[in-house]
Amino acid sequence: MNEVAPRTHNSGHYSLDACATSQFEQQLRAVCGLPLGAAKLIWPGAVMVNLLGYEAARSDYLSQRDRLAALPQAHLHWYGKAESRPGRKLGHITFRLAATTAAEQRQEAMGAIAAVREIWPCPDPG
């Protein structure tokens, strides 16, 4: 075990846009002693791309955010951080997938990821 954190995990942020009950609502329900909601997908599939800093800068990246938000089936979540640095999570974007077969979903997801990478550089893993 490398971390114990009583918070939602960034790998599940897609649930905001693609599930009947998001992980954030589930956490509140659990803490308040309420019954948990349905966690099922309300779309055939979803893919989420983290938007990581790729430079040390103070920028709101407004033009890039506008372009990302305009992508088909895109749901952009920007965290409002004033400072970027390589590897810092600045936001994420979720795409609801319409395809129903695994092969079609994979193709749709790869297209969405490619479209994001044309606008938002992927940091060099070093």
Pairing of strands 74-78, 45-52: unpaired
Fold of 45-119: D-amino Acid Aminotransferase; Chain A, domain 1 (3.30.470)
pLDDT score for 7: 66
pLDDT score for 13: 85
pLDDT score for 4: 65
pTM tops 0.85, yes or no: no
Q: Please check the confidence at residue 6 and state whether its pLDDT lies above 90.
A: no
Q: What is the mean pLDDT of residues 48-56?
A: 93
Instruction: Tell me how far apart the alpha carbons of residues 17 and 24 are, in angstroms, rounded to a whole number.
Output: 12
pLDDT score for 5: 64
Instruction: Tell me how far apart the alpha carbons of residues 121 and 52 are, in angstroms, rounded to a whole number.
Output: 9
Q: What is the mean pLDDT of residues 70-85?
A: 94
